[in-house]
Structure 1
Amino acid sequence: MKKIPILIILSVLYAGTMIWGQEPERLRRDQSFFGIHFDFHAGSDCHEIGKNTTPEMVQTIIDMVQPDYIQTDCKGHAGYSSYPTKVGNRAPGFVGDPLRIWRDVTAKNGIALYMHYSGVWDTRAIELHPEWAAIHADGSRDKDKTSVFGTYVDQLLVPQLKELAGDYHVDGVWVDGECWATIPDYGERAVSLFRESTGINDIPKSAADPHWYEWMQFHREGFRKYLRHYVASVRSEYPDFQICSNWAFTHHMPEPVSVALDFLSGDFSPNNSINSARYAGRYLASQGLPWDLMAWSFSTNPFPREQKTAVQLKREAAIVLALGGGFQAYFTQNRDGSVRLEEMQVMEEVAKFARERQPWCQHSVQIPQIALLLSTSDYQRNAGSLFPQYKGQSQGVLQCLLESQYSTDLVSEETLAPDMSRFPIVVIPEWKNISPAFCIDLLEYAKGGGSLLVIGQETSEYFASLAGMQLQNTRFTSSTLGKGKIGFLPLMIGAEYEKSGNEKLREQLNTAVQMMFLNPLVEISGSPWIDVSIGQLKGKKLVHLVNTSGDHKGAGIIKSIEPVGPLQISIRCEHKPEKITLQPEGKICDFVYADGKAQVKVDKVNIYDILVIE
């Protein structure tokens, strides 16, 4: 019998599947690991959108990168839709329907398709409907930002999302320009609702005026209601349509998740990206929803932009993957909506790097060690605007802890309060407006057996007064408190360490933590330039090791990363491990087990390796 080549058989089977309309199943976002994002914020200059968007182009991207999902542009901040919408504001000209091509090709390949859609920020909508604009304190209309109290959401945003879900069958939407773009609205409706809900008649114009806090809180709740409204409106007809609002319920909006979003996401800074991703990822990991972070594939230093190297994006991915999150990278499109395929070579390398590590990082969950407080209370009192990247002094303290090789989670009061005891130590950076009730909860945590370390002069003085203790100038002091301990380091660490990486400050904080946290799960010596994340997955303990050596703040483009090592690693284990493997290399590591600890040596870490303890 003559043999039929296997490729012919597979081709016939694939064609038959397409004939019968049985597209491959697509992963939902909570199952996804790696994606790619395209946008170009179409404008009035775009007259030939779709001219060079072909099935071959989309297929090439899929073949090279093999993503779980693709996000592509449909409406940017300028407000012009980059597909031939029937309900929104089209860009000036189209050649065919490029979105149909994106959907058809991704569907045939079993790749999910999400839309980049600018929400609150819509310049074109305000040009056509000035009544949709948020109003400034001086009575002028904002040219870009819509009001979350107006009718824009029902007359444009919801109909357009329903069109995308119903007519194009896309899998979901990543709504940009949302919480971080929302501004206080002095329009008649917003002012009336504020007076009605608070009983306050005098409307503050600045932070110096009475009731500014109430005014800001009213607008924060206004954004939440706007978000809940459009999510519910779209889901009423398309319950499987997946929705994310960029930076909602992240460190831009540090509070419990109160909207039925499908996943959380944000695009971290194109410059100083490692420190940006470190902070964003450690907050998202504790929020209880599937999450991912997006790297910019280019740096704006030097201005205007330069493509990042594969090694640079690999490390940015590593910071995120080591925390159990998903990763995507952002590439701009040409003004006709087509993609520069030569840039996909970098993403192809990054995808291979990530997939090699996927079995040991996707859905990995952090094992609690150090909790660093990101205070929602202080944020909402002192942030200055509604949802900015206000971090107080916590960014520098986080970097200082990470560069002392401590596995650290960034948590808010609401995340920490239900069970503080799961963390052996809680660190309070230089926050000044923590609620008194929560401060009492923190002291009770220490009395119950926890270790509480307070940083900063003013914050330390406040907690010392609550505990009935005295500080000793700027020296570290600690004392027993009930069954636990409380320590004070009355130094201004955060701002200075973030600025300079002051080694002396790192040594002082490290010494304080060592005295308060006597038996961490993992201890490392050999280099300060290793981020440690301790996770668990499928019953196995994981020690994620990410090389963070080199300049992050000043270097726009990183062409090479020096390996770090050798590293001596001590891992606390109740029983002697059966084996310890270094992944993704698959190397079985020699180790010595004594006194409840496995001692292992790692010769070097190039970018990101994982110790798997079984």
Structure 2
Amino acid sequence: MNISSHLPFRQVHLDFHTSEAIPGIGSAFRPDEWAQTLREAHVNSVTCFSCCHHGWSYHPTRVGAMHPHLGFNLLRAQIDAAHACGIRVPVYLTAGNNQRLAMEHPEWREITPDGRYMGWAPTPLSAGFSKLCLNSGYLEVLRALCEETVELFPDADGIFLDIICQGQCCCPGCVTDMLREGFDPESEADRIRFARRTLLNYYRVITAACRKFNPDMPVFHNSGHIPRGDREILPYFSHLELESLPTGGWGYDHFPVSAAYCRKLPFEFIGMTHTCPNKLLKG
């Protein structure tokens, strides 16, 4: 399949964060209908999921856990059907979130300086995803997931990693490492510096994992925005994707400002829109 190297004009980010409580995942998937729907929408790139925020993989995996209600290799079927008609498929992996692992390994969760678990759920009984610490044993699992994904899907048209951030974590591992490396955990300035050290280590380790078998594999690390002024992280990117949902918290002024900044960077960039899974993917 010969697909040109420049970025696509019409790309869709197919959000597919699917709870284990949902049955029949992919049971109505029809490759021909899938491809025809994309063609009719004039889509030339669609980001599909390897591992979602719930922690489930959409293909057989040795490292992670396949969605309990998925009975076949959905990601492989999506890639094959799309590639057959010249449509790219970058592959998505969650990074900052993985609810399955957060429940199995609470010691890997990010802890705020005031002792709370970081995340998007205000209480333990509230719905929401938990934030994982990138200075914990989780980073090794994420590295292995990325390496497995690019090994299983060498024809992927890129790797998209999501929720790339690190707060002033005070989990036992971070406090121990801060003390050993000469940081003061009681100093906010030192906690911020240590979080930055952790984040840069993430970029090094995970970008290398994504390019283990193909040094030219496109990689994008998403944090919901392009951090303006932060050029230290740019060597770990192959291109930029501007996530900007006007009614999703970004606002209508976000995209033009972000695009104006990115025009001055040495990268191609595209706008990133979202769509929900359609009837072709749901049972």
Q: Same fold (TM over 0.5)?
A: yes
Structure-1 separation of matches of 2:168 and 2:89: 33
**Paired position in structure 1 for 2:4:** 27
Q: C-alpha deviations, 1:386-430, integer Å up to 9, x for none?
A: xxxxxxxxxxxxxxxxxxxxxxxxxxxxxxxxxxxxxxxxxxxxx
**Paired position in structure 2 for 1:576:** none
- Secondary structure in structure 2 of the residue aligned to 1:58: helix
> Could you say if the C-alpha distance between residues 249 and 195 of structure 1 is closer, same or farther in structure 2, counting changes exceeding 3 Å?
farther
Instruction: Report the Cα offset of residue 133 of structure 1.
Output: 1.5
Instruction: Report the Cα offset of residue 140 of structure 1.
Output: 4.9
8 Å Cα contact 1:46-1:91 kept in structure 2: no
Q: Which amino acid is the alignment partner of residue 132 of structure 2?
A: T
1:145 corresponds, among 131, 146, 149, to 131
Q: Which amino acid is the alignment partner of residue 120 of structure 1?
A: G
Structure showing greater Rg: 1
Structure-2 separation of matches of 1:149 and 1:176: 17
Superposition pairs of residues 18-417 of structure 1, within 5 angstroms: 23=1, 25-28=2-5, 30-142=6-118, 144-155=130-141, 157-169=142-154, 170-179=156-165, 182-197=166-181, 199-201=182-184, 203-204=185-186, 211-247=187-223, 250-251=226-227, 254-258=229-233, 259-271=235-247, 273-294=251-272, 329-334=273-278, 337-338=281-282
Instruction: Report the Cα offset of residue 33 of structure 1.
Output: 2.5
Structure-2 separation of matches of 1:106 and 1:277: 28
Q: C-alpha deviations, 1:71-126, integer Å up to 9, x for none?
A: 12332222222333332122221132221211111222222211222111111111
Q: C-alpha deviations, 1:34-79, integer Å up to 9, x for none?
A: 2111112111123321111111222112321333311123322222
Q: C-alpha deviations, 1:142-161, integer Å up to 9, x for none?
A: 46111111121222x22222
- Secondary structure in structure 1 of the residue aligned to 2:46: strand
The structure whose RCO (Cα within 8 Å, separation 6+) is larger is: 2
8 Å Cα contact 1:49-1:336 kept in structure 2: no
8 Å Cα contact 1:50-1:337 kept in structure 2: yes
8 Å Cα contact 1:48-1:336 kept in structure 2: no
8 Å Cα contact 1:265-1:291 kept in structure 2: yes
Mark the runs of 5 or more structure 1 residues left unpaired by the alignment: 1-22, 205-210, 295-328, 340-614
> Could you say if the C-alpha distance between residues 106 and 53 of structure 1 is closer, same or farther in structure 2, counting changes exceeding 3 Å?
same
Structure-2 separation of matches of 1:277 and 1:249: 9
8 Å Cα contact 1:79-1:123 kept in structure 2: yes
**Paired position in structure 2 for 1:309:** none
8 Å Cα contact 1:265-1:292 kept in structure 2: yes
Structure-2 separation of matches of 1:248 and 1:59: 28
Instruction: Report the Cα offset of residue 214 of structure 1.
Output: 3.0
Q: What is the RMSD of the two structures over their aligned residues, measured on CA atoms?
A: 2.5
8 Å Cα contact 2:56-2:65 kept in structure 1: yes
> Could you say if the C-alpha distance between residues 171 and 284 of structure 1 is closer, same or farther in structure 2, counting changes exceeding 3 Å?
same
8 Å Cα contact 2:45-2:90 kept in structure 1: yes
> Could you say if the C-alpha distance between residues 83 and 233 of structure 1 is closer, same or farther in structure 2, counting changes exceeding 3 Å?
closer
Structure-2 separation of matches of 1:149 and 1:278: 34
Structure-2 separation of matches of 1:335 and 1:187: 42
8 Å Cα contact 1:42-1:75 kept in structure 2: no
- Secondary structure in structure 2 of the residue aligned to 1:146: coil
> Could you say if the C-alpha distance between residues 200 and 71 of structure 1 is closer, same or farther in structure 2, counting changes exceeding 3 Å?
closer
Structure-1 separation of matches of 2:266 and 2:197: 21
Q: Which amino acid is the alignment partner of residue 189 of structure 1?
A: G
Mark the runs of 5 or more structure 2 residues left unpaired by the alignment: 120-129
Q: Which amino acid is the alignment partner of residue 230 of structure 2?
A: E
Instruction: Report the Cα offset of residue 226 of structure 1.
Output: 0.8
Instruction: Report the Cα offset of residue 246 of structure 1.
Output: 0.8
Q: C-alpha deviations, 1:564-610, integer Å up to 9, x for none?
A: xxxxxxxxxxxxxxxxxxxxxxxxxxxxxxxxxxxxxxxxxxxxxxx
Structure-2 separation of matches of 1:150 and 1:245: 19
Structure-1 separation of matches of 2:83 and 2:97: 30
Q: Which amino acid is the alignment partner of residue 256 of structure 1?
A: R
> Could you say if the C-alpha distance between residues 177 and 336 of structure 1 is closer, same or farther in structure 2, counting changes exceeding 3 Å?
farther
**Paired position in structure 2 for 1:353:** none
Structure-2 separation of matches of 1:150 and 1:337: 34
Q: C-alpha deviations, 1:488-520, integer Å up to 9, x for none?
A: xxxxxxxxxxxxxxxxxxxxxxxxxxxxxxxxx
Structure-2 separation of matches of 1:247 and 1:92: 28
Structure-2 separation of matches of 1:154 and 1:33: 35
8 Å Cα contact 2:239-2:267 kept in structure 1: yes
Instruction: Report the Cα offset of residue 223 of structure 1.
Output: 0.8
Q: C-alpha deviations, 1:160-180, integer Å up to 9, x for none?
A: 22222221332222111212x
**Runs of 4+ with >3 A deviation:** 138-143, 334-339
Superposition pairs of residues 500-511 of structure 1, within 5 angstroms: none
Structure-2 separation of matches of 1:145 and 1:189: 15
- Secondary structure in structure 2 of the residue aligned to 1:47: coil
